[in-house]
Amino acid sequence: MFSRNKQPAIKSLIAQGSRIEGDVHFADGLRIDGEVHGDVRAQGGQSGLLVISALARVEGAVHAAHVIVNGEVVGPVHATELLELQPKARITGDVHYKALEMHQGATICGSMTPTDAVLEEKPPLKLASSAQ
């Protein structure tokens, strides 16, 4: 479904021990090992890979095509393609995703909403035992 070979390269890093105050906008890929107090957004909000490691903490909205969380996010998460929640992921906020992969141990305190692309109208099912 989602080829890992087509991932954009991670070209930026917010290292452990670093703290960013303000919004972060990135192109291609970003890995966060430190703290960000502000929104984190891929350029255009519709592309990019964002990795929030087990050591990281983000307080603000997160917007990217592919989001991998193993740390803490306090704020809404918007993944236009794929959201991966690894075992140490802790999200306090609403989650919006097209596809979701959630490992045992990950927690979400908020609502989970699939995007409209997933909620296509499906034809009604007819049971084989139905007398019609």
pLDDT tens digits, 17-37: 999 999 999 988 999 999 999
24 belongs to a structural domain: yes
HSE-up of residue 16 (Cα within 13 Å, Cβ side): 4
Lowest mean pLDDT among 44-48, 52-56, 96-100: 44-48
pLDDT of residue 13: 93
118 pLDDT above the threshold of 50: no
28 and 10 Cβ atoms separated by less than 8 Å: yes
Instruction: Determine the average pLDDT of the residues in 41-49.
Output: 80
1 belongs to a structural domain: no
1 pLDDT above the threshold of 50: no
pLDDT of residue 102: 95
Residue holding tokens 């989001």? Answer: 67
Q: Quote the CA–CA distance of 49 and 27 in Å, as a whole number.
A: 9
The residue segments making up the domain with residue 96 are 10-112
92 belongs to a structural domain: yes
pLDDT of residue 9: 79
Instruction: Determine the average pLDDT of the residues in 36-64.
Output: 92
Read off the pLDDT of residues 63-115 as tens digits, 9 standing for 90 and up.
Answer: 999 999 999 999 999 999 999 999 999 999 999 999 999 999 999 999 999 98
125 belongs to a structural domain: no
> How many domains does the chain contain in total?
1
Q: Which residues contact 66 (CB under 8 A, 6 or more apart)?
A: 2, 7, 48, 49, 50, 79, 81, 82, 84
